[in-house]
């Protein structure tokens, strides 16, 4: 059951990757690496589809050759292995050098595929009933097919060794993080496919010698997971940055929402800090296309509100409140800043006169970096919300004056 699930996952994974890449194909007609990548996804999907138990018998009847799906699967693997090489040499070498290396690899794998085809039809493995997983193991009892299969494994192994080597090389020179991650995934996937090849060799050796056979499920688990990792690795440079943007947007939305209580308290004290009329609490929950701009505005308006409250900031009261909350006086933090703001707002609301002397400066995130500023103020807002004595406003009706 798990074998079938993994086979379907690999078949659909390659197909989805191909459909993801196809819309941009007209823009990349002269890009050999892009064309090779699309060919890789096509062959990756076909190599699993043709051997699915629900499909393989129908293909064999259609082509009037009982074991044809075995060769179709193996031919697709040889082609996708060559396509991987073409992509990697174009990505990791200068254009002239890449063209020469890609041509040599294409001719080499083409010749290997031709020899494989001749050997397969010469050996002519019999068609047997059962799953694809079982049929290969039974056919290996035929010495001719075992020799043919060993040659096929050698082609795969050589290709995956090169894939691992080139993908690791490109991972070290790639400047984009998602591209580096993708190349590492391709390398790990290739290593698992090498485990598949080694396990298959041990199976062959175990049939004809006294060597113990490996765990019987290891070959298809390693091969299938390795294929999935490689499809993931080849596609993640395209969709990974969009995922990063989505995560970044979610983080901005979370910060925007968490800053609202602090911003609202400062706005009620000084409505002039707001550039636009404040939205209602319910409307403020609606995600905006200009969320980044609104978040930056909220940060700026909070800082403007802090500046407006500076005459009401009392260093003595802050030290007392810090001791009461167990905060060290000599280490300004987001908790100190929240206490300072809460004390200034309480003093203003109580009608205290603005201080005429030196005022306490509020702390800042280092270097004025907006990302650090957002993170800092989000923590301040959290402390501010939890402070004892914080009075939550009963509504979002804008005040009429300061």
Residue 397: per-residue pLDDT: 46
Task: Say if residues 377 and 262 touch (Cβ distance below 8 Å).
Answer: yes
Q: Is the pLDDT of residue 29 over 50?
A: yes
Among 204-208, 251-255, 287-291, 323-327, name the most confident range. Answer: 251-255
Quick one: CA torsion of 147, 152, 157, 159, rounded to 10 degrees? 150
Looking at the predicted structure, is the pLDDT value of residue 50 above 90? yes
DSSP 388: T
Mean pLDDT of 224-245: 95
pLDDT at 227: 96
Q: What is the mean pLDDT of the chain?
A: 85
Which of 313, 325, 317 lies closest to 269, judged by CA?
313
The pLDDT value given to residue 401: 44
Alpha helices in 218-333 (DSSP H): 218-269, 281-284, 291-309, 315-324
On whether the CB atoms of residues 13 and 236 are closer than 8 A, the answer is: no
Tens-digit pLDDT profile for residues 129-162: 556 666 666 777 888 889 999 999 999 999 999 9
Q: Greater confidence, 232 or 170?
A: 232
pLDDT score recorded for residue 278? 78
Confidence check: pLDDT of 236 > 90 = yes
108-117, 233-242, 380-389: least confidently modelled range: 380-389
pLDDT at position 386 is 79
Pick from 221-225, 286-290, 371-375: least confident: 286-290
pLDDT tens, position by position, 301-326? 999 998 888 888 777 676 666 667 66
Those residues with Cβ within 8 angstroms of residue 334's Cβ, 6 or more apart along the chain or in another chain? 363, 376, 379, 380, 382, 383
Q: What's residue 402's pLDDT?
A: 39
Which band of pLDDT confidence, cut at 50, 70 and 90, is reported for residue 184?
very high
- Is the pLDDT at 27 greater than 80? The verdict is yes
Tell me, yes or no, if the pTM score tops 0.85.
no
Nearest to 377 by CA among 254, 209, 193: 254
pLDDT (mean) for 93-115: 94
pLDDT band at 31 (very low <50, low <70, confident <90, very high): very high
326: left (phi over 0), alpha (psi -120 to 50) or beta: left
Q: What does each C-alpha distance from 16 to 48, 52, 179, 224, 255 come to in angstroms?
A: 13, 17, 19, 16, 34
Alpha helices per DSSP H over 22-142: 32-49, 56-63, 68-92, 95-123, 132-139
pLDDT over 50 (residue 66): yes
């Amino acid at each position: 059951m798990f074998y079938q699930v993994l086979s379907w996952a690999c078949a659909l994974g390659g197909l989805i990757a191909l459909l993801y890449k196809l819309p941009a194909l007209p823009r990349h007609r002269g890009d050999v690496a892009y064309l090779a990548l699309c060919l890789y996804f096509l062959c990756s999907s076909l190599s699993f589809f043709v051997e699915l138990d629900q499909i393989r018998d129908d293909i064999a009847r259609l082509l009037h050759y009982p074991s044809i799906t075995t060769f179709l699967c193996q031919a697709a693997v040889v082609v996708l292995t060559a396509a991987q090489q073409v992509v990697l040499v174009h990505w990791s070498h200068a254009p002239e050098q890449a063209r020469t290396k890609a041509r040599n690899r294409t001719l080499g794998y083409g010749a290997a595929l031709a020899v494989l085809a001749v050997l397969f039809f010469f050996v002519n493995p019999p068609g047997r009933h059962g799953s694809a997983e079982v049929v290969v193991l039974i056919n290996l009892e035929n010495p001719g097919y075992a020799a043919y299969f060993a040659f096929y494994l050698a082609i795969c192994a050589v290709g995956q060794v090169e894939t691992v080597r080139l993908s690791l090389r490109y991972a070290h020179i790639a400047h984009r993080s998602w591209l580096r991650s993708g190349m590492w995934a391709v390398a790990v996937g290739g290593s698992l496919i090498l485990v598949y090849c080694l396990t298959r060799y041990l199976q062959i050796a175990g049939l004809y010698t006294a060597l113990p056979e490996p765990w019987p499920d290891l070959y298809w688990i390693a091969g299938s997971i390795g294929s999935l990792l490689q499809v993931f690795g080849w596609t993640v440079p395209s969709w990974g940055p969009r995922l990063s943007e989505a995560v970044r947007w979610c983080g901005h939305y979370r910060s925007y929402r968490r800053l609202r209580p602090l911003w609202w308290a400062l706005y009620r004290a000084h409505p002039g800090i707001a550039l636009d009329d404040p939205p209602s609490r319910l409307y403020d929950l609606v995600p905006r296309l200009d969320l980044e701009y609104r978040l930056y505005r909220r940060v700026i308006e909070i800082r403007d509100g802090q500046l407006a409250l500076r005459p009401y900031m009392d260093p003595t009261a802050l030290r007392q409140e810090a001791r009461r909350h167990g905060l060290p006086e000599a280490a300004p933090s987001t908790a100190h800043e929240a206490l300072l703001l809460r004390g200034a707002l309480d003093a203003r609301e109580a009608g205290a006169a603005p201080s005429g002397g030196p005022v306490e400066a509020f702390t800042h995130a280092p270097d004025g970096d907006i990302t650090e500023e957002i993170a800092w103020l989000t923590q301040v807002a959290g402390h501010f919300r939890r402070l004892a004595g914080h009075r939550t406003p009963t509504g979002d009706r804008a005040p009429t004056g300061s």
